[in-house]
Amino acid sequence: MIREEGIVLYMPEYASVRVIECSPPSWMVLLALEEKSLPYKCQELSFARGEHRSPEMLARNPRGTIPVLSDREFQLFETYAIFSYLEYAYPSKPLAPQETNEHVYAILRLHESSHLKSHGMALFAYLMKTPEEALDKDILRERKDQFVNELRFWEDYLEGRDWLAGTSISYADLSVFTYIATAVHLGLSLQTTFPRLAAFVERMKQRPAVQKTWPALWNTNHYSFLSDEGA
């Protein structure tokens, strides 16, 4: 049996993730650990060298995906399962609202964010796997449009509120933020069409957890793939 002393998060080395230079699922787990003030170690793995599919990692997760969170004898490798575990095992500083109405909406919005993930990863994967000179503008525009159409739901959900499920930040906010922030890094503009989401992203960027875990390469590398001119 694999057993860790304390929490260890296995995640991609961001520099090895071409173009997007982060991993939204890994980032949202990092944010959860920081928001809950939990002590943890981070083990970065190189996609380029296939370290996420090493025998050691396949023993932790036979599907060969990351992030993987290891805590004592537990090996967790589905992001929402990791969230559920963290909330159950470490209930202090909850990221699932305690009031019933907000709790229900927090769960709903978290699972609903899988639609955003689906469109986001289809878009990001195309940019990651396709050399810039081989990008097809029609394919890129179609995938961008699907992602942007999904954003309309989330813009509406923020009407009259700062957070997606009520009066406090929840796992749903972490999930949605990481995909939108990645799209913004790739050149997507929110200000005109999605002012509430633009304000939400700025609100998130003020949080210490986001500032501490902000992808380092984003400070120097800037892209225009998803700008009006680029797609």
Which amino acid is located at 226 in the chain? L
In the chain, where the domains are located: 4-89, 100-219
Predicted confidence at residue 1, as pLDDT, reads 59
CB 152 within 8 A of CB 173: no
**Closest to 164 measured CA to CA, from 112, 94, 86:** 112
pLDDT category of residue 231 using cuts at 50, 70 and 90? low
Give residue 7's region: left, alpha or beta (phi > 0; psi -120 to 50).
Answer: beta
Concatenated DSSP letters for 172-225?
HHHHHHHHHHHHHHTT---TTT-HHHHHHHHHHHTSHHHHHH--GGGGT----T
pLDDT category of residue 230 using cuts at 50, 70 and 90? low
- Above 80 in pLDDT, residue 4? no
Chosen CATH of 100-219 out of 1.20.1050.10, 3.30.70.270, 3.40.640.10, 3.40.50.10490: 1.20.1050.10
CB 231 within 8 A of CB 148: no
- pLDDT digits over 194-225, tens only? 999 999 999 999 999 999 999 999 999 999 99
Q: Average pLDDT over the chain, rounded to whole?
A: 95
Whole-angstrom distance, CA of residue 175 vs CA of residue 165: 12
- Above 90 in pLDDT, residue 166? no
Question: For residue 40, what are its two tokens?
Answer: 């943890």
Predicted confidence at residue 228, as pLDDT, reads 82
Indicate the class that CATH gives domain 4-89.
Answer: alpha beta
Predicted confidence at residue 111, as pLDDT, reads 97
